Structures are given as structure tokens and as C-alpha cells.
């Protein structure tokens, strides 16, 4: 299937490892020009080199998007250097180890900013040029936690807000040619990540989780999520405004 995105400019946040890195590599294989944003420069360099380097139009920006005004600065710098983006994948998110529903309000705000606020701030700058061209794709990486609300309450609530924001934004610009959607991954294994630590240190807990909550009986991989993102960025999703796509191994 021809995705129709060759030559498109793509921005992927949280792209140094895991799902973000897998997404960036798949876009590069489709002959897109990909800009990666994350905090770890060495890992970004390695990813860009694997994608073919600057000579193929790829670039990276080292930034902590939780810093004040950092999302705006990153978009302005990358756009000034190479022009506006056609596709953006917001892959920033996590619990920030805030799990108690009675956590202080400031911690709730931090989790919300990490999972939602950064995307909202960046979209304010990224979407208008797409509207002018009457073509664009905005994909948010949400979580199945937005629906089942297991684990961290503040995280699940933030992802539920992200899903609602995706719907509201998609409907508001539905006739502009810009398609907004979200992917809801289930539990994903990544080296050094939460589930990797559980697998190594608490195998009984891992077995119990999979038996009760993952019909497929195993964790997912970043490489299993990336193709769904690329499809939602393709020329074939023009009727997919506000789509919330579960990719979760049959989460129960």
C-alpha cells in the first residue's frame, strides 16, 4: 500500500527510544524527512545516523519539553531551519512517578503538562501552516490507561483528557484537510522501562498482569505500534477525524 507520504516533513517528540524511535525509523523508511526531539543527544544522533543522516533531510533537537516555553522554542527553531511540518507525532508522556489520586495539585499539573499541555502548546504553532496547505496529520500517543484507569490515576486522567482534546481539536478543524487522531497502546516492553523492570524483578506480578489483562498473553513492542501511527499519517485516513485507535493486545 502506498501511504502517500514520501517527502513529507515529520516531527516526532520523545523520539530517542522506545515507541518514538520506532515511529521515526518507520517514517524514514517511507522516505520522509524526520526531525526528532528528546533529551538524550547521543541516542538522537544514533537514531538519525540509522535513518540516513542529515543528507536525507533528517535532523534532531535536544530539548526538555517540560521546561517553560521549550515546546514553543523547539517548534520555532525547527520550522525556521527547514520550513513547516506536514506530520507531527506527540509521543511525550508518562506517570512521572505520580500515582496517588490524593497527590498535591502541583503534581497533577505536572502530569497533565507532560501528557497533554506540551502537545497543546506545540499544536498552536504546528497546525496553522497545515491548514494553509489544506493537508496535515497530527497523531497523539495516548494510552489504554485512559479507558481502564488502572495504575497511576493522574496519568490515566491526563490521557483521558488527551483523548477528549483529540476529539475536540479534530472536530474543530475537520474541514481543513488536517486529520487529528490518537493511538492508545497497551503495555509495551522497552529496555529499562517500567515493564522491563517488572519482568526482571517481579515475574509473578508480570504473569498475573498478563493472565488477567492481556488477552494476547504477552507485552507489545514499539515496532508493533509504529505501523498504526504511519497509517494514521497516510493519505488514506481522510475520514478518520478524531479517531482513537486501541492497539493493546486485547486489553481486558
CATH number where 135 lies: 3.40.50.720
Query: Mean pLDDT score of the chain, rounded to an integer?
Result: 95
Range of the domain at 136: 9-190+222-247
Domain presence at residue 214: no
Confidence band, pLDDT 50/70/90 cuts, at residue 213: confident
Residue 1 has a pLDDT of 85
pLDDT tens string 130-169: 999 999 999 999 999 999 888 899 999 999 999 999 999 9
Answer yes or no: is 139 within a domain.
yes
**174 pLDDT band (50/70/90 cuts)?**
very high
| Within-domain flag for 208 | no
In a domain, 20, yes or no: yes
Residue 25 pLDDT more than 90? yes
Q: C-alpha grid cell for residue 45?
A: 544522533
Residue 215, in any domain of the structure: no
Q: Is residue 163 part of a domain?
A: yes
Q: What domain count does the chain have? A: 1
pLDDT in tens, 68-121: 999 999 999 999 998 999 999 999 999 999 999 999 999 999 999 999 999 999
Pairwise CA distance, residues 125 & 83, whole Å = 12
Give a yes or no: residue 212 inside a domain: no
Asked if the structure places residue 185 within a domain, the reply is yes
> Quick one: pLDDT band at residue 171, thresholds 50, 70, 90?
very high
Amino acid at each position: 500500500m502506498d501511504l502517500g507520504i514520501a517527502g513529507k516533513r515529520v516531527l516526532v517528540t520523545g523520539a530517542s527510544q522506545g515507541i518514538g524511535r520506532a515511529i521515526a525509523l518507520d517514517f524514514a523508511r517511507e522516505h520522509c524527512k524526520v526531525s526528532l526531539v528528546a533529551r538524550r543527544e547521543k541516542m538522537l544522533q544514533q537514531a538519525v545516523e540509522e535513518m540516513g543522516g542529515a543528507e536525507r533531510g533528517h535532523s534532531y533537537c535536544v530539548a526538555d519539553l517540560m521546561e517553560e516555553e521549550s515546546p514553543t522554542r523547539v517548534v520555532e527553531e525547527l520550522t525556521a531551519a527547514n520550513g513547516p511540518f506536514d506530520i507531527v507525532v506527540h509521543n511525550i508522556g508518562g506517570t512521572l512517578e505520580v500515582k496517588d489520586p490524593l497527590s498535591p495539585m502541583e503534581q497533577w499539573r505536572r502530569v497533565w503538562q507532560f501528557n497533554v499541555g506540551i502537545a497543546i502548546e506545540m499544536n498552536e504553532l504546528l497546525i496553522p501552516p497545515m491548514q494553509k496547505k489544506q493537508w496535515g496529520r497530527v497523531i497523539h500517543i495516548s494510552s489504554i490507561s485512559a479507558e481502564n484507569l488502572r495504575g497511576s490515576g493522574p496519568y490515566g486522567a491526563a490521557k483521558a483528557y488527551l483523548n477528549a482534546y483529540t476529539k475536540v481539536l479534530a472536530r474543530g478543524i475537520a474541514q481543513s484537510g488536517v486529520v487529528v487522531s490518537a493511538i492508545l497502546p497497551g503495555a509495551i516492553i522497552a529496555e529499562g522501562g517500567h515493564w522491563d523492570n517488572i519482568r526482571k524483578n517481579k515475574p509473578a506480578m508480570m504473569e498475573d498482569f498478563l493472565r488477567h489483562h492481556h488477552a494476547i498473553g504477552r507485552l507489545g513492542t514499539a515496532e508493533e505500534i509504529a505501523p498504526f501511527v504511519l497509517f494514521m499519517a497516510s493519505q488514506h485516513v481522510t475520514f478518520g477525524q478524531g479517531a482513537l485507535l486501541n492497539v493493546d493486545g486485547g486489553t481486558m
